A and B are shown apart, each in its own frame.
Chain A
Amino acid sequence: MSDYIIETKNLTKMYGMGKSVADLNIHVQKGRIYGLLGRNGAGKTTTMKMLLGLTQPTTGEVLIWEKPLRGNERKILPRIGSLIEAPSFYPNLTATENLHIFATLRGVPNPHAIKDALDLVRLPYKDKKLFSQYSLGMKQRLAIALAIMHDPELLILDEPINGLDPIGIAEVRSFIRQLCDEKGKTILISSHILSEISLLADDIGIIDKGILLEEESLAKLEQRSSKYIHFTISDTAQAARILEQIFDEKQFLIQDDYNIRLYNLNLSVTKIVSVFIENGLEVSEAHTCGDSLEEHFKRITGGEGIA
């Protein structure tokens, strides 16, 4: 039995001749926060829309709780809470009235569900302020309230911190973490803000131009992307030969004639330096350093665009 709550199989969406999402295979595990990271236009929102059946994939399949979404929407969708793109509500109604509509349509049994949801996102219950008079941050909070109102097992949140002030961001972040840790919810969030994803997600999928470039747990990504031993030496070609022949090591990168990076941190720096010196090399620098996650993401996506 699979442990994945969401699994996509070669999910593809084409608009005209262009591929918005191409052969996407993501795996969201139960009780974890999965961060879908990508620049604007990378295909995050289209992916989420396909996961909710709001748009149909051109090819491929969405499995949620191991069942194909198509044909099982009535069983699957009630167990999901979602926020897609900008918050959208009836502008002539208050927050409570707006939530009342969706609670009625959903048949939410808990009579306190609306109040509880508004309390959680710190919006007043039965306030007279209309949705059209709300700030962007308040609108975003209301959209989150809508997503959680029916106590779903799975949350799909597209850029949930958009428009929030720093305090609001911290609140929403801790609230999402709390939902996962204390209530065991599975959460898929998307963002183009790396710092947010790295603070929140347990697993990360990096998407660019509709293609999933990497999918890994945050811990492994940090481990893999951040550490290497940097040597500044008199001859990198000879250093490479020593690493290969004496240490049987191939995980290194020659940067130029004098700089080389070794990615296997299990080797002793002192021992390597002494072997270099024994072989007539001059070692002027040897230290452990790190690529930040940001540098790693920029490198694999090939440029800017992730804040």
Chain B
Amino acid sequence: MLRLLQCEYIKLKRSKFLLIGILGTLIVPLFVYVKAIINYLSNPEMVMSLFSLYDNAFMFLMLLFAPMVLTILYAWIISREYTDGTLKNIFVIPVSQTIFFCGKLLFLAILTFMFMLISWLEILVLAFLCNCFIPVTELTIPSIIFFLIKMLLGGILLFATQTPFIYFTIRTRGFVAPLIAITAVILINVVLSSSGVAGFYPWSASYLLISGHLSRQSCPKEISISIILIMCLLGIIASLLRFKKEEIK
């Protein structure tokens, strides 16, 4: 498995897509700070807290930005094996399709964690910088670790909710279909996230679980987690079955 991960890493060398993804990840924390500073300037009595910064970041990341960026990145990493025609070189080596697929999945999960860590780190660095001019409360080590854990949990949920798009990518051998699908998912996120049924919608539920806002909803936590888990497993199984049926035509 380590060999597969090493190969996936090499494949990304000089890739503009990864760079664009990382730059994209940097946008959300910046946006959160710009919004917070504007609010502070209009209302100087307002307290800027690490909690509110991360809470806003979770909302933009989990509901809007990360699903889009990750879908594009996942779809590109998978579909390039079709568009570059490299599958015919891979299928004749002694690595089973299942192991190859699992290696790919693990690599995508690691990328997701990497993006979440970058976002976490950026918010933290900006909080320290900001603290030099505008006081930021809750800037303590327990809070920092608490949000690191939340970010990593967010990464797990983001990865889990991406598996249907992995299936679309394998099924269509390109990234147009998953891109259209994620756009629709995000639009529904916007409509549903503040409604009472958001906990039943896996992509909104991920955000609600991480932000702790699910308690305000009618959906029990266990149901939301189960829906996400079932969707994740179905996505992985369908993708794997489809990938194992691949033929080089």
Could you mark each residue 76-115 of chain B with 1 if its beta carbon is under 8 Å from any beta carbon of chain A, else 0?
0000100011101111111110000000000000000000
Q: Which residue of B lies closest to A88 (CB)?
A: B85
In the complex, A97 Cα to B6 Cα: how many Å? 12
Of A80, A100, A101, most buried by chain B (CB within 10 Å of CB) is A101
Q: Is the Cβ of A74 less than 8 Å from the Cβ of B14?
A: no
In the complex, A187 Cα to B4 Cα: how many Å? 30
Indicate if A55 sits at the interface (CB-CB under 8 A): yes
Cβ contacts under 8 Å, A86 to chain B: 85
Could you mark each residue 68-102 of chain A with 1 if its beta carbon is under 8 Å from any beta carbon of chain B, else 0?
00000010011010101110111111000100111
Of B6, B84, B89, B248, most buried by chain A (CB within 10 Å of CB) is B89
- Smallest CB separation, B78 vs chain A (Å): 14
Chain A interface residue count, Cβ-Cβ cutoff 8 angstroms: 31
In the complex, A116 Cα to B7 Cα: how many Å? 21
Q: Is the Cβ of A97 less than 8 Å from the Cβ of B10?
A: yes
Cβ contacts under 8 Å, B4 to chain A: 105
Contact of B91 among A53, A90, A100, A106 (CB under 8 A): A53
Q: Is the Cβ of A88 less than 8 Å from the Cβ of B86?
A: yes
Chain B interface residue count, Cβ-Cβ cutoff 8 angstroms: 25
User: Which chain A residues in 35-56 approach chain B with CB under 8 Å?
Assistant: 49, 52-56
In the complex, A232 Cα to B10 Cα: how many Å? 71
Q: Is the Cβ of B248 less than 8 Å from the Cβ of A55?
A: yes
Contact of B248 among A15, A84, A91 (CB under 8 A): A84
In the complex, A57 Cα to B24 Cα: how many Å? 46
- Smallest CB separation, B173 vs chain A (Å): 14
In the complex, A80 Cα to B92 Cα: how many Å? 8
Cβ contacts under 8 Å, A245 to chain B: none
Cβ contacts under 8 Å, A105 to chain B: 3-4, 7, 90, 93, 95
User: Which chain A residues in 162-204 approach chain B with CB under 8 Å?
Assistant: none
- Smallest CB separation, B87 vs chain A (Å): 8
Q: Which residue of A lies closest to B3 (CB)?
A: A104
- Smallest CB separation, B223 vs chain A (Å): 42
Q: Is the Cβ of B10 less than 8 Å from the Cβ of A84?
A: no
Q: Is the Cβ of B3 less than 8 Å from the Cβ of A54?
A: no
In the complex, A54 Cα to B247 Cα: how many Å? 6
Q: Is the Cβ of B13 less than 8 Å from the Cβ of A92?
A: yes
Q: Which residue of A lies closest to B4 (CB)?
A: A105
In the complex, A85 Cα to B87 Cα: how many Å? 12
Task: Say yes or no: A92-B15 contact (C-beta < 8 A), given A49-B248, A55-B249, A84-B88.
Answer: yes
Contact of A74 among B11, B13, B96, B248 (CB under 8 A): B96
Q: Which residue of B lies closest to A74 (CB)?
A: B94
- Smallest CB separation, B242 vs chain A (Å): 15
- Smallest CB separation, B125 vs chain A (Å): 30
Could you mark each residue 12-42 of chain B with 1 if its beta carbon is under 8 Å from any beta carbon of chain A, else 0?
0111000000000000000000000000000
Could you mark each residue 102-142 of chain B with 1 if its beta carbon is under 8 Å from any beta carbon of chain A, else 0?
00000000000000000000000000000000000000000
Task: Say yes or no: A90-B92 contact (C-beta < 8 A), given A54-B247, A55-B249, A107-B3.
Answer: no
- Smallest CB separation, B90 vs chain A (Å): 7
Q: Is the Cβ of B84 less than 8 Å from the Cβ of A78?
A: no
Indicate if A120 sits at the interface (CB-CB under 8 A): no
In the complex, A45 Cα to B94 Cα: how many Å? 21
Q: Is the Cβ of B84 less than 8 Å from the Cβ of A89?
A: yes
10 closest cross-chain pairs (CB), A and B = A88-B85, A54-B248, A55-B247, A92-B14, A78-B94, A101-B7, A106-B93, A105-B93, A104-B3, A52-B92
Given A53-B92, A105-B4, 9 more pairs with CB closer than 8 A:
A49-B248, A52-B92, A84-B88, A88-B88, A89-B89, A92-B14, A104-B3, A107-B3, A130-B14
